[in-house]
Structure 1
Amino acid sequence: MSSAGLASRGPLRSAAFRWFLGGQAISLGGSAMAPVALAFGVLEVTDSAAWLSAVTTAVLVPMVATLLLGGGIADRYRRDTVLCLTSLGAGLTQVGVASLLLAHQHPAFLLPLSALNGIFQGLTKPALRGIVSNLATGRGLQQASSLLASVRNATRILGPAAAGLLTASVGGGWAIAVDAVSFLLAAAFFARMSLPSLPPRTKGGPTMASELREGWSYFSSKPWIWAVTLAFAVFNALNMGVWQILGPVIANATIGAEGWGLVLSARGAGALLASVVMVKLTVRRPMVPALSLMSLAAVPLILLGAGVNTLWLAVAAFVAGVVSEFFTVAWETVCNTHVPERLLSRVGAHDEFWSFVPIPIGQLATPFLAATFGMAMVAVTGGGVAAVAMLAPLLVPSLRKTEINRNGD
């Protein structure tokens, strides 16, 4: 029986899925530590939100720029091979970042390595979006997505708290070093997946350019997909700008690295709870509740601007984690059910590309807006607009009617 066939009865019965799950667990464990470690490592040297914004943007811009190419590669070649190579590359770049942080070098030296890491991330994400359909079928799709989400969220609980403690005690460089090792180990796991080889390409077959155009044609013809993408373009710009840039700055002056790590871990705990529940829970038409609840994910931005204490911010982050993961599992299952397997990585790349493009703009603009209007005003206003953005796609009838218990488009 094929690995996909086994996964239709239970994803964990597939050896390929187990190797993928293990690799993801290791990689995500390290990656969950990186944002806290990098943020406070940069602030330790510069005490500047602008430099933190520059380093973060140096990762995001190349990542977004290579997403569409990554989608074409992941639909054209074996996805396990793509993941193995990109994880190896990401691990090597993080070794360089860790070395610079441990040597207390100026963040300017981090920019080229951050950009290279962003390229590897851009090539990785579409393969991750498409590979679940290679490992699971039928009812196993949501179970596989939920198991992966559970692992992802467990690491989000432990990772930020561990990073906060490491950063406060010995510096952020050591947490980044752990992330580097995790990428290298994950590459070894992905190499053991051994997915079937793709059929040989015939002479005169479709070119990469024509396949990329096919992915765009499909994406642009489905309002139920691009409406959600546009909503997240707004949400991501505001959320990432306020939460990732202003969040550490505000926390550095109030609750500290340990408190900020606990807040991020609380969000991970909420997401873990939702992902565990979603292993068994199936909602026939999930997008209305998923998007409605996602509006609550903007509440932590508002509370951050209001200056609440660690407890209330952690509670709001916990709720945001619950609703965000409910949406993520529902959305991934809907896409895996309705988008043809051969197009999944390309369509997923467009989904992520157009929703990620505004993030660098938000992150670069946030420090200047905060300097003009104040951090509190920017955080509260951004949270309100982000909440409204999540409700806008519900105006699309085909999205409201989309089901996850049938196959086909």
Structure 2
Amino acid sequence: MNDTDDVHDTDPTGSDAIDGPTRRDAIKCGGSVALGGLLAGCTGGDPTADTGETAEDGSSPASDATDGEPDDDADGSAETEGDGAGHAATLSPMGTVEFDSVPERVFTVFTGYADMAVALGHGDAVTAVYVPEMSGTTMNRYYGDLEGVSFEWEDLFDPLSEGLAKERLYDLDADVHLADPAWASTQENWDRSDVEEIDSRVAPWFGNFYSGTRAAPPSGYDDYEYYDLWEVFGGVADVFDERERYEALAAVHEDLLEMIRSDLPPNEERPTAVRVSLAADGESFYTYHLNEPGYWLADTRPLGAVDAFAEEEWGGLWGEVDFEAMAEADPDVILHLWGFTPSRSMAEFRSTLRDHPVGADLAAVRNDRLHAQGMRYQGPIMNLFQIEMTAKQLYPETFGEWPRYEDGDGYPEFSETERLFDRERVANAIAGDP
């Protein structure tokens, strides 16, 4: 499987343990559940899919989050002092993590956490992100409409370029690792003792990977909890002691969802659709469900399109289908995952389908409904734009036309009346002036 999308299914090379001084004098863990000493006292936790349009509702981490609306009374965020002098954040599988100060050096792997840092006004703190040129370029395409918002990615380290190399985490010397310790423990040459070592000698972990698709976590994480995207974002907001920024952005998100819910056409009038990426051989597609649970579908699920492969059980994150299976499903709309990023070419995608004897007859090809999609590794800002993007691609008569995307284009410049959410409101929230 060479799909850029699914780096978590590779096993990046790790490294031998490194002895070094402990630097936890400023940051400490304080969980209520101990898993064999994992994470120096913090609680321990492949991704699958969030049904229902209300799942991404912007609430903070709930202790019993389900596919529907989180329990409004179960706010998993810890109380903060509000002045950065000492605060805490709570998320499974870590439990409660206490901070004596706001992190100034932040390690991320997946783009969503870097986007969260930017959204909270701390993008400059990020020291690492997966494939910086691809991730950073894509993020900045979304940020182009947001005054004063950008992501400086040029000098960032790619944390998976050598596998998840432990010595690099020592070198980066982060104040927090915005990554799931359960996921880290599955990487090549890593186990729980390595995770504990980094936690105690460098900085705590704070992330929840397996909510991305609701897959089972590794053995030993029986109490692992699942969250939607905006719940995870709420936890990260507490890491930075930025509750006000979070709440302002969550309100924009909720308003966007309310507007979409109120305007969606009846089920029988909705298009059939698939989200795919083209395999390297050009003869098959990796295809992903649209409406299943998990925060990696936080941009398609609220739109409620008819998933042309909804009945397919792939037993994992994705399925692989050939042109004949695609022709049998014959979706009205084909969404090309990663097509909006510099890692894939929409021109090549269109020409491959049009030049194929079966692909040329697909309804989506004949009707020119092949659309570029962004990244499933999305944070809150990306999610707002990707929901707008997908709404226009699926329902142009309701939400306005999505212009034809050409390789290298930025995000379209819609007029204020064409926009589905207020850019100035988002930029102000990020700037701390909601």
Query: Which TM-score applies when normalising by structure 1?
Result: 0.29
Relative to its length, the structure with more helix (as a share) is 1
Relative to its length, the structure with more strand (as a share) is 2
